[in-house]
């Protein structure tokens, strides 16, 4: 189905990080008018102004990335916890609150959270990051069923082992740590960023009009 997003306006957050570059590229190929935002969403009022300036939004792609996420629980202070939730959870809520009124009024719209599989399976030294990512999933499940009667689809992915500049860049893929992690992956290889973006494109398309509040694992068999 060529140009499956023709006439749609899509906002992509953190457009230069995580899945941003691949989403922007593919969605533009598919005919969308993409607003590729790279601003600091932790800045006061920024989430609200982003949506206000965008105007009509058909699809909101909440793509959020963090920096270092490898912390032992004993070395994790409250400031680290607060910063992670401020980066990964608060913008999700603020963006959703800002865009929902127009979508509810039209009885149509999609909010897609590009999430992580971290937390869907226990890992050492990922407690704070996993907690923030699972908070995203819990938010999607709850808000998704709340706004379902209004025709708005809120969905999320739980991905890992996908090529992207934030978590699996090329220089990391040549390390021994990466090779050891890959041995435990049933797929035996990373997903390309484009493959993952194609899955996100399907979530943003009409095929998911009947789906609400669901989280889809995209992890090469690492979680099922």
**φ, ψ for residue 214 (rounded to 5)?**
-100, 150
Alpha-carbon distance values, 73 to 61, 68, 223 (Å): 31, 14, 23
pTM of the prediction? 0.95
E-only strand ranges, the chain: 9-12, 33-36, 59-63, 109-116, 152-159, 215-218
CATH top class, domain 9-218: alpha beta
The residues with which 156 forms a beta bridge, in sequence order, are 113, 215
pLDDT in tens, the chain (224 residues): 568 999 999 999 999 999 999 999 999 999 999 999 999 999 999 999 999 999 999 999 999 998 767 889 998 899 999 999 999 999 999 999 999 999 999 999 999 999 999 989 988 888 999 999 999 999 999 999 999 999 999 999 999 999 999 999 999 999 999 999 999 899 999 999 999 999 999 999 999 999 999 999 999 999 98
Q: Where are the domains of the chain?
A: 9-218
111 token code pair: 């909010």
């Amino acid at each position: 189905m060529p140009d499956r997003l023709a006439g749609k306006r899509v906002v992509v957050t953190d457009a230069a990080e995580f899945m941003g570059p691949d989403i922007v590229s593919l969605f533009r190929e598919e005919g969308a008018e993409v607003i590729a935002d790279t601003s600091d969403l932790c800045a006061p009022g920024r989430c609200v102004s982003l949506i206000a300036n965008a105007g009509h939004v058909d699809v909101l792609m909440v793509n959020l990335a963090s920096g270092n996420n490898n912390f032992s629980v004993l070395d994790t202070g409250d400031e680290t916890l607060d910063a992670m939730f401020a980066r990964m959870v608060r913008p999700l809520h603020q963006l959703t609150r800002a865009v929902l009124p127009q979508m509810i009024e039209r009885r149509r719209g999609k909010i897609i959270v590009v999430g992580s599989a971290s937390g869907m399976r226990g890992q050492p030294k990922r407690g704070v990051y996993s907690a923030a990512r699972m908070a995203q999933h819990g938010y999607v499940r709850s808000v998704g069923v709340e706004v379902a009667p209004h025709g708005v689809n809120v969905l999320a992915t739980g991905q890992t082992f996908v090529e992207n500049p934030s978590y699996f860049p090329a220089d990391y893929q040549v390390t021994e740590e990466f090779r050891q992690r890959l041995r435990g992956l049933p797929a035996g290889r990373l997903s390309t960023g484009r493959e993952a973006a194609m899955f996100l494109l399907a979530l943003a398309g009409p095929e998911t009009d009947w789906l609400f509040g669901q989280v889809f694992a995209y992890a090469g068999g690492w979680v099922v």
